[in-house]
Structure 1
Amino acid sequence: MKRASTAIGSLLVLIIFLAAWQWGPGLFHVPEFVLPTLSSTVAEAGRMFRVENLMMHAGVTALEVIAGFAIGSLLGVVIGVVLGLSPRTETMLSPYILALQIAPKVAFAPLFVMWMGYTVYPKILVAVLIVFFPVMVNVLGAVRAVDPDQVNLVRALCGSRLQIFRFVEFPSAMQALFAGLRIASTLAVIGVTVGELVGGDRGLGYLLVYGEGQGNTAMVFVSIAGLTLIGIVAYAFVVWLERRMLHYVPRANMRMA
């Protein structure tokens, strides 16, 4: 009953939002070029599907998000584990990693376009930079927070350094890893969008800039909706994977944020 009431409440919120979007602009006399109605936006999506090859652009953006998320997450896990296991290495590298994180990623996008041209690589690289840090920090903190009694137990059983990592440190870091992956799944969309806004010739970010240049507000809304949908799917996939891999964790600790 609680799940049903929650689902009904969420559905009501969606209906109210869509109704306000459809009839609100006309009620408050908001011009169409400022805030298009829901029906106008849906009609524009149909036109973009037929004329602008919307699905191709959405597919390009989705592939860039997947690549940036996968590469950035992998680098974050590897470097987080290395720094977590070696405090001396962390001391040497942390100033440079912190400087890279502090530097605005938007500023790197034009540079990547100059180096690699109008290809998918600058967008993926921006996504990698944005995704890397939250995953790395979560894994680093989890590896450092491992229960020393568990480590000593494996050592008492003549476990090797690899076995300590395999059976104690890495499993202990899984929850923190997936917390970082949840954040990274949404940040990957932001990174790809920034790259496409700066130097794209395809993708939803490109359509967003194109629609803005044409004064087509509905086209901008369709592009934003597409980017949002990709982010929701990426986040839902991480949550699904987390529940599959961490099925032994109490469900109260695994609810969606």
Structure 2
Amino acid sequence: MTDRLDTPQGRQLAYVQTPATAEGVDKPGVVFLGGFKSDMTGTKAQFLEDWAKRHGRAFLRFDYSGHGQSSEDFLDGSIGDWAEDAMAAISSLTQGPQVLIGSSMGGWISLLVAKAMPERVAGLIGIAAAPDFTEDSMWDGFDDGQRAALMNQGAIELPSEYDDGPYVITRHLIEDGRKHLVLRDPLALPFPVRLLQGSADVDVPPAVALRLFEHAESPDLRLTMVKGADHRFSEPENLALIAETLDSLTR
């Protein structure tokens, strides 16, 4: 059943929560953080919820503002807003340290959560994590004409290979993203970190995972590169690897 959370910023987030049973009540809960323009009904979110139910673990999935069933318009949103949403959800809806599982943009959001409230993070799994993508992928990939149009008109459209039409990228998204970059300054992650990356990912290339792997400071950081896996990372063998990784972090 979908519930709603009112955030301190006045936004309303849709979420689904699975409570822990006696089997898992003393173990860290799990929080899934989805990607850019995705929602909490995707394959990985549903798979992880099933995993949590089988293991008696607390699990939370939610929609950022402007995504899925939550309030606000997507085009008004930004990395800062979505990080605030994640922190509000974790602070209000979970207890104790959590294992954060961030997919694509959710990987960036999970790193921002970890920087702001490390005491609430028991471990972090990045699935094709995309830190700083608004700057390093979008802005750096724009030509002069696209940059000029973005600055003058406030938004541009980018083609999407998925079924939801073109991506509209706003000037606000780019400028706000620059306030939340994590790969330019030291990034201390004082807990186990697992990065899962497909070699055939064209949206978030393997070089991004390698850069994050080299940049982050963690006592237990591992990168697993899966040959042939794409950005969705949702094939049965990919999901099995996610479950195996989660099992190893939460025994």
Which TM-score band applies after superposition, normalised by the shorter structure? under 0.3
Bigger radius of gyration among the two: 1
TM-score, length of structure 2 as denominator length: 0.22
- Judging by fraction of residues, say which structure has more strand: 2
- Judging by fraction of residues, say which structure has more helix: 1
TM-score, length of structure 1 as denominator length: 0.22
- The structure, 1 or 2, with the larger RCO (C-alpha pairs under 8 Å, 6+ apart) is 1
